[in-house]
Amino acid sequence: MRDKVETTRSAKIADAFASGCVSRELFLDLNITQAELDASGHWEKDFLTGAYHKRTPEFIAALASTKEALVQQRKDAEITLAMAVISLEGHLPPQQDGPPGRTAPNGEPYVLVCSWDIEEARRIGNDKFDYAHKTSSEAIAAWKHAAFEHAQTHQGDVLWWRTRPEIRGEIPFGSTEARWYVYSRLMIGTASIDTVSEGEVESAEVPLSIVYADFVMPHS
């Protein structure tokens, strides 16, 4: 009886391995070990679903190459983004870092300005990678355009940054190519005497070119 059960288990595992996908439920139900999985080939785990997907040696090699190149690409993209922000200086009011939380000192909520269509993304609810760009240059250009448009349609004498522009280069699950996106949170408004202290007024006059002179973006 035990041999029959083991034979059935082995057959189910063989079928799962042949399909190229082992779900989390099947992995647990059949008590599949990591050693059994590794012995059958190269697998990549989807940490959202817990499923394992079989990958070819070529896929694994391409993924490793992309990850290695991404380290320097992120650094280069951060510098390019910083320069893009500086280039917008003439179109933005004096800026300063705003307090954490949902609202700026003027009581208005911060606005998300990013490299993708926010309203459409909220309406459709797709994954962020559906709106990410194939290159960092495309993502930066899209964010710069969105920031320029926002500045043209929102008046104020100060820009509060909740989150300064950040660029992310990530590899979607199942892909060997990076995707890029830029996001920021800000508020352009009027600074009243009640919301801005003398020290904050002084900081608001610091140009972006100085703020970003030694700017280093954190990685995700």
Average pLDDT over residues 136-165: 94
Full-model pTM: 0.75
Answer yes or no: do 77 and 171 share one domain. Answer: yes
Average pLDDT over residues 5-33: 89
Average pLDDT over residues 161-168: 96
DSSP letters for 60-93? HHHHHHHHHHHHHHHHHHHHHHHHHHHHTGGGS-
Average pLDDT over residues 111-134: 81
Provide the residue range defining the domain that includes 29: 2-55
What's the confidence (pLDDT) of residue 7? 75
Answer yes or no: do 12 and 105 share one domain. Answer: no
Task: Burial-class residue 135 by CB neighbours within 10 Å (0-12, 13-18, 19+).
Answer: middle
Bridging pattern class, strands 95-97 and 158-170? parallel
Domain termination site, one of 13, 32, 55: 55
Q: Looking at residue 171, what DSSP letter applies?
A: -
Answer yes or no: do 27 and 97 share one domain. Answer: no
CB proximity list for 159: less than 8 A, separation 6 or greater = 92, 93, 94, 95, 96, 151, 186, 187, 188
What's the confidence (pLDDT) of residue 48? 86
Answer yes or no: do 105 and 177 share one domain. Answer: yes
Q: Is residue 207 part of a domain?
A: yes
Q: Is residue 63 part of a domain?
A: no
